[in-house]
Amino acid sequence: MAQRQYRNPPIEEAVCEFRFAPGLAWNLTVPGLFYEKIKDFYTGEPQQQHLVAAELQTIPQPQNSEITVTQRVTKLLFPSANATRLVGVGPDVLSIHILRPYEGWDEFRGRISQAFDVYLEVVKPVGVKRTALRYINRIVIPEKQDIDLSQYFTIYPQVPDGISTRVSAFLNRTELIYEDLPIELALTLSDTSDPTEKPEFLLDLEISQEWTDDSLAPEEALSSLNELKQREGQAFESLITDRTRELFDAD
């Protein structure tokens, strides 16, 4: 099932991220060299983004478990003038972001290709270790709060029979691995509604592929995105109903 083109797509943010096997040694001159080659397209004020990792350690006994939080990497984000298009660069990582309005895969892939080629030229990585696409969709239902979620989504929380309650808030996350290729798909559906406003939901899809033993040749990385995009589109369409699709095609 191919993903349809909608008049009003619900995409709040689309992100493409590459993680690389190290190339040249990273230093503070690299972001400057990278920026010199993209500054005509990303003229906003550069920003810093700190990426943090949390790790649960259970050694030697569960009662001694503790969560260790470490700062993994600092990325520099280069935004466009209106801050709806951004490129992020850091040690062995490149990300490309498009915020609403999302104008389609062709525009997004063009920006990905541009930033990727500049990264290869400046940093010269020996290979790609991970590629990922993430789409964060904001879906607003123009009805009262007590809606039937099954009318809009194919996954949703269900209350067991015999419990006289209603769902007031939820977060539903599922992680899947495809059988034919080592591609992972993480699906998250959450309620973000204000009780006084229309029902609102975030449908977050991240699809990724990793190369743990060897790395993918850089020249093959962009073509691998086509497979991820196709599967993301299929997953998105399988998670919504025709009633939801009507919301995206409304004026």
What number of other Cβ atoms are within 10 A of residue 128's Cβ?
A: 26
Q: What pLDDT shows up at residue 143?
A: 78
Q: What pLDDT shows up at residue 69?
A: 52
Q: What pLDDT shows up at residue 3?
A: 63
Hey, what amino acid is at 8?
N
Spans of all domains in the chain: 11-249
CA atoms within 13 A on the CB side of 42: 25
Indicate the length of the chain as a whole number: 251
Question: Strand order of the sheet with strand 127-140?
Answer: 47-57, 66-79, 85-90, 93-99, 11-21, 127-140, 200-210, 183-191, 171-177
Q: What pLDDT shows up at residue 99?
A: 97
Q: What pLDDT shows up at residue 56?
A: 45
Q: What is the pLDDT along the chain (251 residues), one digit of tens a residue?
A: 456 889 899 999 999 999 999 877 788 889 999 999 999 999 999 988 776 554 445 455 555 556 555 555 678 999 999 999 999 999 999 999 999 999 999 999 999 999 999 999 999 999 999 999 999 999 999 877 678 889 999 988 777 776 766 666 788 999 999 999 999 999 999 988 776 678 899 999 999 999 988 899 999 999 999 999 999 999 999 999 999 999 998 66
What six digits make up the tokens of 248? 């995206």
Q: What pLDDT shows up at residue 145?
A: 66
Hey, what amino acid is at 240?
I
CA atoms within 13 A on the CB side of 158: 6
What six digits make up the tokens of 246? 């009507």
> What is the Cα 61 distance to its own chain's centre?
35
d(CA 37, CA 136): 29
Q: What pLDDT shows up at residue 251?
A: 60
CA atoms within 13 A on the CB side of 226: 4
Q: What pLDDT shows up at residue 148?
A: 86
